[in-house]
Amino acid sequence: MIQKLQDVGELALQQIKFSQDLESLEKVRISILGKKGALSEVLKGVGAIPASDRPQIGGMANEWKKRIEESLESRKQQLEQIWLAQKVQTERIDITAPSRCLHRGSLHLVTQTTQRIIQILSRIGFDVTLGPEVETDYFNFEAVNIQADHPARDMQDTFFLSPGIVLRTHTSSVQMRAMRAQKAPIRILCPGAVYRCDNDATHSPMFHQIEGLWVDRGVRMSDLKGTLLYWAKELFGSSTQIRFRPSYFPFVEPGAEVDVSCFQCRVKVSPLCRVCKGSGWLEVLGAGMVHPRLFEMAGYSQDDEVRGFAFGVGVERIAMLLYQVPDLRLLYQGDLRFLSQFK
């Protein structure tokens, strides 16, 4: 038994010494000290020897175990050092190498423009309200005074999802929802996507509008003009002027198309100007005083002198003007060479 212990111990020390890596060292450990390892196997025979010899054998076995464990630990440390040294050699990091370029994303030009417009108007008390893009025919048309047989339906070619359900053609669909949801005063902006069967350099089938609605006692056309002049000066520059041209929208009376003076030809209108094409003016939005019929439909009493104005601006067109984008479709092609210019 003593001889067997000695043989196992000495062999173990040899194997540990010649282990070349941590993995083979672990195998050696298991083959000696593991449950079915060589040392355990020898000790299984202890039961067969006389009781008087057992303490001596037990003592020897413990001593060998301790020697083996110490030897394993010291070889392990050696092998770890070797592993680390090899790693440092083979995986050298060149801290002077130029770093890889990280492409940081940025907000889309349409989002930036939307945020800019909202920021300007929120300074004078407008809050943002959202409405659904999938809208009922009622809120998109009838509730803004466009009846089923009204010729104004032809002004906006509509995507119908099912009978009575449309993709909203304008953010004016939010007007009636807002007037029914809350009483005056109302001062809201409704940004969002709208849809029409359109497609060319200045018309996209999906585009964005921001609707403005201010309803309160005694609101007048001059308030509309003051609000839009403030907005235009903040957006296009302090020398900007605005002009109203009479126009027709069924939900306002009177209605107007609003132009801003060309921010490119600030001092003198140039016939060569690429922005205004020599006219000196840029059309930016539709606006007007809320039609009395809408107040009626929203359940407002005629006696309470509540009036209102509304306007609707096309975000892409504003972005095109501000950044001189020649074709609206560029905004939706996802070409980073184009989009990253507006970071």
Site for ligand FA5, rule CB under 6 A: 156, 170, 172, 196, 198, 203-204, 207, 209, 211, 249, 252, 255, 285-288, 310-312, 314, 316-317, 328
Nearer to ligand FA5, 61 or 290 (CB): 290
DSSP string for residues in 197-238:
S--BTTB-SEEEEEEEEEEEET--HHHHHHHHHHHHHHHH-T
- Positive or negative: CA dihedral 105, 111, 115, 117: positive
Q: How far apart are CA 256 and CA 295, in angstroms?
A: 19
The minimum distance between CB 170 and ligand FA5, in angstroms, equals: 4
The minimum distance between CB 284 and ligand FA5, in angstroms, equals: 7
The minimum distance between CB 255 and ligand FA5, in angstroms, equals: 6
Nearer to ligand FA5, 39 or 325 (CB): 325
The minimum distance between CB 101 and ligand FA5, in angstroms, equals: 34
Q: Is the separation of the CB atoms in 260 and 238 below 8 Å?
A: no
The minimum distance between CB 111 and ligand FA5, in angstroms, equals: 16
228 phi and psi, to 5 degrees?
Answer: -70, -30
Look up residue 180 and give its two tokens.
């029914």
Q: Name residue, tokens 């309160």.
A: 216
Nearer to ligand FA5, 191 or 255 (CB): 255
- On the question of a cis peptide bond just before residue 326, with omega within 30 degrees of 0, the verdict is no
- Taking CB atoms, the residue at the shortest distance from ligand FA5 is 314
Nearer to ligand FA5, 202 or 264 (CB): 202
Coil, helix or strand at residue 254 = strand
Nearer to ligand FA5, 17 or 245 (CB): 245
